[in-house]
Structures are given as structure tokens and as C-alpha cells.
Structure 1
Amino acid sequence: MSDPVKRRYDTSRRQEQARENRRRILTAASGLFREKGYAGTAMPEVAKVAGVAVQTVYKAFANKATLLKAVFDVTLAGDDEDVPIAGRDFIAAIQAEPDAARKIGMYLEHLAAVAPAVTPVQLLARDAAAADPAAAEVWRQMRRETLTAMTYFAADLLATGQVKPGLAADDVRDVLWTYHGPEQYELLCLERGWPPERYGQFLRDAIVAAVLV
């Protein structure tokens, strides 16, 4: 009869090895995407840099677009833990804040802090979407996820009673979604050289002026 303790140990070891391989693949892919772009990065090269077999890469990620999305998710979250952004501590802190302007300020402080790492990955997906259907679907997924997040944020702001009269939830959502777009960071920071802190303050002031009394 096989030893159940040994089976559990072997399973645990395989799971930890799979997690380690995933971390190495994501680290390798992140570096290659930033250095060579989406089209210039090949899955065998990712495998080589990660020190794993190319089959291991495809087992973890169905294709290059899926890998790009995973790089984006990890970069946005700051780790590879199975905790959605909505469940993160900084979101809980924003939800607990009673003042709408402060909520917006807290969120934009966070966005400005992560944008230098996150936005280039978004722009890779956007630019790859023109030539790669799988990348196009990943880009659409990124946009949908942002729209969903801004829908929840708009509802949170409306609940404070500090939103301008006449603005519906969809109006507030669309303002948030527009200013949240990577195009704002691309124009102001990448093209015009603004520091992220100035970019965050600009968005904060613009959103407050647009939606709050």
C-alpha cells in the first residue's frame, strides 16, 4: 500500500516546483517584453531565459498573449498571489475613506506609483493588438477589467453624496475610465517627460473637478 504522507509530500513538491517555474517564466517574459517588444519576444527565448523547457512555458501559458496578460496582472498586483485587486488592502482603505476627494487622491497616488511599471505592458498589448488576434483579445480584456473596476469606484463615490447633481453612475464611471487609460501616462510622462507624481496630481485634480461638487 502506498504511503499517503509520501503522496502528499510529492504533490506539494510538484506544486511548489510549478509555482517556481511560473515565477521564473514571468520574470523572464517581463524582461524580454520590455527589451524586445511583443513581436520580438519568442516563447523559446522566454523558456531559455527562465531555465525551463519550452513545453513548460506552454503548459503554464497557452500562448504569448496569455503570457503578456499574466505579466500585466503580476506587475499590477506586485506579486503572483491569488488575491484579486478588489481584495487588496489599498482598495479596502479607499472604500473606508468617507471623503470622495480623498478617495480619488488615494487611488491616483496608487496609480501614479504603479504606472511606470504597469503602463508599458498595457501599451505593448495595445500596439500588438493590430497584428495579433490573441493580443487584441488580451487588450480588450484589459479594457473590460478597467471598466469594471471603474464601475465599482463610481458607485463608491456616489455613495458619499459628494458627486455633482445630475451625474449618473455611468457618467462618473466613464470619466474615471477615460482618465485611467494608459494614453494619459503615454502622453504626459513618456512623451512630455512629466514625473509620475505630477501625472497623478493632474489626474486627481481633473477628476475631482469633473465629478465632485
Structure 2
Amino acid sequence: MGPVVNEPHRRAPRPRTYNARRRQEAAEESRMRVLATSRELFLAGGYGRTTIAAIARAAGVSNESVYKGFGGKPGLVRAIYEQSLLGAGGPPAEERSDRAQATITDPRELMEQFGRLISEVSPIGAPVYLLIREAAASGDPDMAALLRDVDDGRYRRMLHNARHVLGRGFLREGLTENEVADVMFMSTSAELYETLVLKRGWSAERYGRFMARTLAANLLPDPIL
């Protein structure tokens, strides 16, 4: 029997590094691409005529991934609308609104900030709201339910704002929180944006200044002359 020859020690193969962060980033990039593509196609072609297959193809993803991520067309529209409420960038618009309500000491300056936020969010959110309204009017039950949810959510937000601003002591004496919320609800409506900007051609900036004056005229005490 010949001598035993020891084989060179073989290192166990290192496990492949699993880059969870990169995977999450890629998933978020894909999600944002699907949302951007969906928004473009829905607003161009309407809710009924736009298909998941067309969205997936344009976004470079599979149909299954769209269904898995959003649950179909109603979920996509809801996600697009909720995304629009964040504003045009930076901290979410609601967060900036809350900060302004907590820190601004001049009531008219606060109304101006509300107007600026309205002019920022409305061009993004109003077209999606109008898409939902049109689909609901066509008889789509999912869009009718979404329209109710969107309106209810926006009113709850305006009631939150009303309570906060009333608590600061900024507003005209005798106003109730529901009266204040109603004025704010009207001022953030897609229908008003549709009338003045989409139909009459106002700029978003002019619209925001008008809404700031409207809020001030209806909510703040009359200036002392």
C-alpha cells in the first residue's frame, strides 16, 4: 500500500453576499417606475381603456409584479393619488403643513403657506382625482368606492387642520371646527382647480395666491383699519 498523500486543504466556498439594501432599492425603483408609467397612461387614455398589460409593458415589468405590488388597477390609482399628496419633493406636504401650523405666528402668513401648498399639490393631485371621478361616474364600483375614500380622507385632514388652527387662536370668533373644515375642503377641491386652472387657464401660482386670499377672507378676523 503506497503512502497516503494528503490532499491540499480546500476552503469551503464563501456564501455569496446577499445585498438586501440593493434589492430593496431596485424594488423601490421598479415601484416608482410603475407609478409614473401608470399615471401617464391613465391620464392619457382614461381608466377604462388602460390595461395592466400596457402599464407593465411600458414600465418594463411583468403583469404579475404589478398585481403583486398594487392588486390591480384600483390599487394603482389609489397609490398614484396618495403619492400626489406628498407634493413636488422634499418632506411630505402634510408634514410641512403641520410644521407651519405649529410654528408660524402670523395668521396671514399661515394662509399664504396654505396657498403655496395648494398650488404645489393641486397640479399633481387634481388630475388624478378627476380621473377617479370620471371612472366612478361611468359606473365602476371600485372607483366609486375610491372616490368616497378620497373625499372622506381629505375632509378628515381638513378637520385636523381646522382644529389645529382654531387651537392657535388665529381665526374669526364664533367659527366652528366644521365650518373651518368646510372652507378648507372647498379650497382644496379638484373641481375648483379644474374650473380656474384647467378651464380658465390660470397658473398654479395665481391659483395658490387666490386660495390664500380666499382662506384669509373667510377665516381670519377683519383687519383693523
Q: For the superposition of Structure 1 and Structure 2, which TM-score range results when normalised by the shorter chain?
A: 0.7 to 0.9
Which of 107, 114, 129 is the aligned partner of 2:136? 129
Gaps of 5+ in 2: 1-13
Task: Give the alignment's TM-score, normalised by structure 2.
Answer: 0.83
Match of 1:118 in 2: 125
Match of 1:168 in 2: 176
State the Cα distance separating 1:89 from its structure 2 match.
3.6
Match of 2:31 in 1: 22
Work out which of the two has the higher radius of gyration on C-alpha atoms and give 1 or 2. 2
Distance change (3 Å), C-alpha of 1:4 and 1:138: farther
Query: Residues of 1 paired with 2:175 and 2:142: CA distance?
Result: 36
Task: Give the alignment's TM-score, normalised by structure 1.
Answer: 0.87
Stretches of 4+ moved more than 6 A in 1?
Answer: none
Query: Residues of 1 paired with 2:87 and 2:185: CA distance?
Result: 22
Query: Residues of 2 paired with 1:21 and 1:39: CA distance?
Result: 24
Query: Residues of 2 paired with 1:44 and 1:85: CA distance?
Result: 32
Distance change (3 Å), C-alpha of 1:182 and 1:4: farther
**Higher share in helix:** 1
Query: Residues of 2 paired with 1:147 and 1:5: CA distance?
Result: 51
> Number of matched residues?
209
Matches within 5 A, 1:61-210: 61-78=70-87, 85-86=93-94, 88-130=95-137, 131-210=139-218
Gaps of 5+ in 1: none
Measured on the aligned residues, the alpha-carbon RMSD in Å equals 2.5
Q: State the one-letter code of the partner of 1:167.
A: L
Query: Residues of 2 paired with 1:199 and 1:24: CA distance?
Result: 30
The answer to whether the Cα contact below 8 Å between 1:99 and 1:160 also exists between their aligned partners in 2 is no
Deviation by residue 1:174-212 (Cα, 9 ceiling, x = unmatched): 111122111110111111112222222222212211121
State the Cα distance separating 1:157 from its structure 2 match.
1.7
User: % of aligned pairs identical?
Assistant: 34
